[in-house]
Amino acid sequence: MSFLRRRAAAADTSVASLLSSCNSLRELKRIHARIVRKGLEQHHVLVLRFLCLCNALSAVSYASSAFDRVSHPTLPLFNALLKVLADHRLPLQSSVFLFRNLRLRSPHPPDPFSYPSLLKSCSHFSDLHTGAFVHSLVPPLRLRG
């Protein structure tokens, strides 16, 4: 393993351990700064853990900021941000816009984890029309017979 790869792996590990022990918004801000300084914004596993921590600490703006820095977000990253938006009752159009981007930007179609958060957002705002439309997009469950 080259020196640069070992160094990058060590940086990943140190940020991951900080994420594991973080329990305040102040620490979260420091971790976000470290992720940016070390150029780890494209490390999907770290960003996913960061988004989950943002959700737990109600740091929605940090979650959005971290997500926006990812060049090619993966399906789990989209799903994590959809969950953040739903859990913190952000305006429904934010969730719908993100879901639309998921359908347009992601090489993978939405999966069974994509829809519940969007439907939760629809229910928060009692938007039956949008909820019915989203529900119509859910692929049918295929059972093995």
> Does 21 share its domain with 5?
yes
User: What is the model's pLDDT at position 45?
Assistant: 93
> Does 33 share its domain with 2?
yes
Identify the domain containing residue 102 by its residue range.
72-145
> Does 66 share its domain with 78?
no
22-75: pLDDT as tens digits: 999 999 999 999 998 999 999 999 999 999 999 999 999 989 999 999 999 999
Q: Please state the pTM of the whole predicted model.
A: 0.82
> Does 43 share its domain with 104?
no
- The residue written with tokens 């953040």 in the block is 84
> Does 55 share its domain with 82?
no
User: What is the model's pLDDT at position 26?
Assistant: 94
89-101: pLDDT as tens digits: 888 899 999 999 9
> Does 10 share its domain with 56?
yes
> Does 42 share its domain with 85?
no
* Mean residue pLDDT across the chain: 87
Given 10, 35, 70, the domain boundary residue is 70
Given 70, 92, 113, the domain boundary residue is 70
- Where residue 108 falls (left for φ over 0; alpha for ψ -120 to 50; beta otherwise) is beta
Structural domain count of the chain: 2
- The residue written with tokens 């740091």 in the block is 59
Q: Looking at 1-145, list the stretches that DSSP marks H as alpha helix, in order from N- to C-terminal side.
A: 3-21, 25-37, 44-56, 60-68, 75-87, 92-105, 115-124, 128-137
